[in-house]
Amino acid sequence: MNSDPACGGKRKQALYEYKKVYPRKVYGTFRKLKWAAVVVLLAIWHLAPFLRWDRGPGAPDQAILIDMAGRRAYLYNIEIWPQEVYYLTGLLILAAIGLFFVTALLGRVWCGFACWQTVYTDLFVWIEELFEGDRNERMKRDGQPTSVGKLLRKAGKNVVWAAVSLLTGLAFALYFQDAYQGVRDVFTGQASKATYGFMVLFGGFCWLLAGYAREQVCIYMCPWPRFQAAMFDEDSLVVSYEGWRGEPRGHYKKGHDFAERGHCVDCRLCVHVCPTGIDIRNGSQLACIGCALCVDACNSVMDRFGLPRGLISYDSVDNMAARSKGLPPRIRLIRGRTIGYVAIMGLVGSIMLYTLLNRSTTEVNVLHERSPLYVTLSDGSIRNGYVFKVLNMVRETRSFELKLAGVEGATFSAIGLPTEQDGTRIVLPVAPDAVADFQVFVTARRDALAGKRTDLQFLLTDLETGKTIVHKTMFAGPEQ
Ligand code: SF4
Ligand code: SF4
């Protein structure tokens, strides 16, 4: 908010005044690390759908695939069915705790180096520089009236941004279909409307957020900076300006002795390279994404003046305090909170591993027929109907033995299948990778029932492994 009492009592108010950020090119260790992150992460995102994994005949051979039509997700040798979506919850918990852990150790390293927004903004700014030059040239051109040259440069930049965005959208769509076929279909105009729709939708967001919204996403839209402060302590790495060494700041003039003044020469290079346009010399700020580009910038200035590096540093508060007093470095990676995060990750990971290793490949679902609940036969015995569903999660035909327990002398039959051993055993064949439905009728003597509801169990045994699943249900009968 801006108020100006000098304007004859009229208060001029602006809720939000946007100032475009023109980040300047910078060279140094952190810039190199950021480029490495951009290349590695973009390569993973774009190439992962093309990785293959042999699952045998009839199964998709894409290593990472979300098969919406087949209602299945594949991750190498792990196959997730819709009823196992809780694995996704486990993965999300692991990712969240992993992020807390990394933040406690390295501060906002996720925001500065690995976040989708950061990676694409880096790439888009690089493309912008190719067309419009570095900071000063871009600022100057934006201040000039529209010209053919200016329009051509901006159009060229937007065309390349759009191409990158559409490829990003395509990469997203390829996780939902065979990647090789998907690429062929897209470039021959044969892809589905959903694929083109995702390319435009996902790509459109990419173009808008990385091309135009940029730092505003981090400052105003993303909730993560608002609560990550809770994960910091005095041993977490943060980007900070060492005021005790830099102040009093001032432009360097010939003959200045740095022993008698601060080391900051007020060149503002740290501000000019900052992708969010802030001045780190004003202290820690929510808008600082921890990219450490200002560290590279300031180090280059310190080198020029023959001063020690690290006036802006990527360091812990404790270590900085130790350095300011000339004490030995103080770096503590093993602390209460980091141990806690590792313990939670270990626990969640172990539970997930255990459930994956002991995952059942069969599921049983039994629906008791409601109308009628039971039928009295001519000999006085009672009959109940059930729909018996067996899900075979293996890519081979399997045979199961079905038996009854709980109601003395009960017999049963299944439509279309022979009943063996006096009506007490049926063999159910189930096709590979499928759900089989069986209509089952159970008959019991009236004197064997406990009343309106008698407990009944179906025992389903895999004839190959001998594993038995017990499914509890009820047998309905008349009041005794
Ligand atoms: S202040 Fe430094 S670390 Fe923070 S966002 Fe700006 S350049 Fe990156
Ligand atoms: S780059 Fe370093 S010397 Fe220049 S203004 Fe920033 S802190 Fe001061």
Residues 84 and 204 in one domain: yes
> Within a domain: residue 14?
no
Q: What does the pLDDT look like over 420-479, one tens digit per residue?
A: 877 889 999 999 988 999 999 999 999 999 989 999 999 999 999 999 999 999 999 998
450 close to 407: Cβ distance less than 8 angstroms:
no
Q: What is the C-alpha separation between 462 and 44, in angstroms, rounded?
A: 41
> Within a domain: residue 321?
yes
Structural domain ending residue among the three candidates 328, 359, 390: 359
12: pLDDT strictly greater than 60: no
How remote is the CA of residue 274 from the centroid of ligand 1, in Å? 5
Residues 349 and 285 in one domain: yes
Instruction: State residue 456's pLDDT score.
Output: 96
CA trace torsion 226, 120, 100, 77 (10° rounding): 140
Q: What is the C-alpha separation between 8 and 11, in angstroms, rounded?
A: 8
Residues 141 and 263 in one domain: yes
> Within a domain: residue 82?
yes
Q: What is the C-alpha separation between 327 and 352, in angstroms, rounded?
A: 45
Residues 96 and 67 in one domain: yes
User: How do strand 312-316 and strand 382-392 relate by DSSP bridges?
Assistant: unpaired
Instruction: Tell me the backbone φ, ψ of residue 232, rounded to 5 degrees.
Output: -85, 150
Residues 383 and 331 in one domain: no
Residues 40 and 73 in one domain: yes
Q: Does ligand 1 come within 6 angstroms of the Cβ of 111?
A: no
Q: What does the pLDDT look like over 33-51, one tens digit per residue?
A: 999 999 999 999 999 999 9
Least confident stretch, 67-76, 122-131, 271-280: 67-76
Residues 345 and 372 in one domain: no
Per the structure, the complete domain to which residue 115 belongs is given by 20-359
Read off the pLDDT band of 358 (50, 70, 90).
confident
Residues 103 and 28 in one domain: yes
> Within a domain: residue 461?
yes
> Within a domain: residue 12?
no
Read off the pLDDT band of 14 (50, 70, 90).
low
The domain tally of the chain equals 2
Strand ranges in 59-111 using DSSP code E only, listed in sequence order: 64-67, 72-75, 78-80
Q: What is the C-alpha separation between 232 and 223, in angstroms, rounded?
A: 16
Ligand nearest to C-alpha 280? 1
3-state SS assignment for residue 62: strand
> Within a domain: residue 5?
no
Looking at the chain, the whole-number percentage of residues with pLDDT higher than 70 is 97
Structural domain ending residue among the three candidates 359, 379, 397: 359
Strand partners, 405: 457
> Within a domain: residue 68?
yes
Residues 427 and 303 in one domain: no
Query: Which residue's CA is the nearest one to ligand 1's atom 7?
Result: 274
Q: Does ligand 1 come within 6 angstroms of the Cβ of 293?
A: yes
3-state SS assignment for residue 196: helix
Give the CATH number of the domain where residue 418 resides.
2.60.40.10
Q: Does ligand 1 come within 6 angstroms of the Cβ of 219?
A: no
Q: Does ligand 2 come within 6 angstroms of the Cβ of 31?
A: no
Closest ligand 2 atom number to CA of residue 312: 7
C-beta atoms surrounding 247 within 10 Å:
14
Residues with Cβ < 8 Å from 329, sequence gap 6 or more? 319, 322, 323
Query: Which residue's CA is the nearest one to ligand 1's atom 8?
Result: 291
Closest ligand 2 atom number to CA of residue 268: 5
CA dist 100 → 221, 224, 291, 340 (Å): 20, 11, 18, 10
Query: Which residue's CA is the nearest one to ligand 2's atom 3?
Result: 264
CA dist 436 → 82, 366, 389, 390, 420 (Å): 17, 12, 6, 5, 20
How distant is the alpha carbon of residue 227 from its chain centre?
18
Residues 240 and 281 in one domain: yes
Q: Does ligand 1 come within 6 angstroms of the Cβ of 276?
A: yes
CA trace torsion 229, 234, 239, 242 (10° rounding): 130
Average pLDDT, the chain: 92
Q: pTM, whole model, 2 decimals? A: 0.84
CA dist 108 → 32, 100, 438 (Å): 17, 10, 56
Q: What is the C-alpha separation between 225 and 232, in angstroms, rounded?
A: 11
Give the position of tokens 């999660």.
393
> Within a domain: residue 87?
yes
Instruction: State residue 16's pLDDT score.
Output: 60
Compute the average pLDDT of residues 322-333. Answer: 85
Q: Does ligand 2 come within 6 angstroms of the Cβ of 268?
A: yes
Structure tokens, 367: 């629906």
360: pLDDT strictly greater than 80: yes
Give the position of tokens 């580009």.
293
For the chain, give the number of residues: 480
Strand ranges in 409-478 using DSSP code E only, listed in sequence order: 411-414, 419-420, 425-430, 434-444, 453-462, 468-476
Q: What is the CA radius of gyration of the chain?
A: 33
Structure tokens, 238: 């943060």
Q: What is the C-alpha separation between 43 and 98, in angstroms, rounded?
A: 22
Q: Which of 248, 251, 259, 237 is nearest to 313 (CA)?
A: 237
Residues 257 and 322 in one domain: yes
